[in-house]
């Protein structure tokens, strides 16, 4: 029940926030995966807190409409650009956690075409 509550809270924050705020929410969720992104541990997959964050992000991206999904996409693209040496680790997070964000985390993804 707690996870449903937090998914709703995150969805509302992203939906109501400006671009900077929504990216800070996405960044906060991805930060739960910092150990895996920075060091590749726990090996071979990210830990439970990371996957809970990825599941929340997936739920938000898939259930709150195209604009939110595109916003999440833009934020993820910003993250892989900013943290370029760790871009591959960031891009693999949804797959390792068994979720989909509805788009490919790749520098060539055009978020405007995410539906």
User: What DSSP string describes the chain?
Assistant: -HHHHHHHHHHHHHHHS-HHHHHHHHHHHHHTTHHHHHH--SSSS--HHHHHHHHHHHHHHHHS-HHHHHHHHHHHHHHHHHTGGGHHHHHHHHHHTT---SS--STT--GGG--
Tens digits of pLDDT across the chain (115 residues): 444 434 444 444 444 444 456 798 899 999 999 988 888 765 667 888 999 999 999 998 887 788 889 999 999 999 999 888 889 999 999 999 999 999 999 989 999 999 8
Residue 93 and residue 50 in contact, taking contact as beta carbons nearer than 8 Å: yes
- Predicted TM-score (pTM) of the model is 0.78
């Amino acid at each position: 029940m707690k996870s449903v509550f937090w998914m709703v809270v995150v969805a509302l924050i992203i939906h109501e926030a400006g671009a900077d705020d929504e990216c800070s929410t996405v960044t906060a969720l991805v930060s739960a995966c910092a150990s895996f992104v920075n060091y590749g541990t726990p090996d071979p997959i990210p830990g439970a807190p990371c996957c809970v964050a990825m599941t929340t992000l997936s739920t938000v991206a898939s259930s709150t409409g195209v604009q939110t999904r595109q916003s999440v996409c833009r934020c993820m693209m910003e993250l892989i650009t900013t943290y370029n040496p760790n871009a591959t680790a960031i891009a693999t997070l949804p797959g390792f956690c068994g979720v989909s964000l509805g788009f490919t985390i790749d520098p060539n993804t055009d978020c405007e075409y995410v539906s």
